[in-house]
């Protein structure tokens, strides 16, 4: 995950969605790791990335960011590509069963 470290000033919060994303990204455990770790080419690499995510304070916004932006590659919010596809599929099914229309389904 290519994260850009940006300084966060609590008295002047970001005004855009991208600014808000950069705020939690800078606080993520991944910010201190090699970005390539989060884009592994094997199952062992996925487990290494997930282990880093396990100690992270921002897995929820990270996962939601990946789901909303339909990021297909890498480990985001402690979830692999396959896990994120399953989450999206389950959310679409839940929305259909409750009569809600899923946005960007």
Tens of pLDDT along 18-41? 566 778 899 999 999 999 999 998
User: How many distinct structural domains can be found in the chain?
Assistant: 1
Q: What band does 11 get if pLDDT is binned at 50, 70 and 90?
A: very low
With respect to residue 105, please indicate whether it lies within any of the assigned structural domains: no
Q: Which residue range is the domain that position 89 belongs to?
A: 17-97
Residue 8's pLDDT band (boundaries 50, 70, 90)? very low
Is 82 within the bounds of a domain?
Answer: yes
- Helix, coil or strand: residue 97: helix
Is the pTM higher than 0.85? The answer reads no
Which pLDDT score is estimated for 37?
Answer: 95
What's the rounded mean pLDDT across residues 86-105? 79
C-alpha dist (Å) from residue 100 to 23, 65, 66, 95, 103: 31, 21, 22, 5, 9
In a domain, 8, yes or no: no
């Amino acid at each position: 995950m290519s994260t850009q470290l940006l300084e966060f000033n609590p008295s002047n919060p970001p005004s855009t969605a991208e600014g808000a994303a950069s705020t939690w990204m800078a606080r993520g455990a991944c910010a201190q790791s090699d970005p390539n770790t989060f884009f592994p080419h094997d199952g062992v690499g996925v487990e290494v990335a997930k282990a880093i995510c396990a100690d992270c304070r921002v897995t929820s916004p990270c996962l939601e960011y990946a789901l909303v932006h339909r990021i297909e590659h890498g480990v985001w919010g402690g979830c692999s590509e396959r896990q994120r596809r399953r989450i999206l599929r389950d959310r679409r099914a839940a929305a259909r069963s409750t009569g809600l229309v899923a946005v960007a389904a």
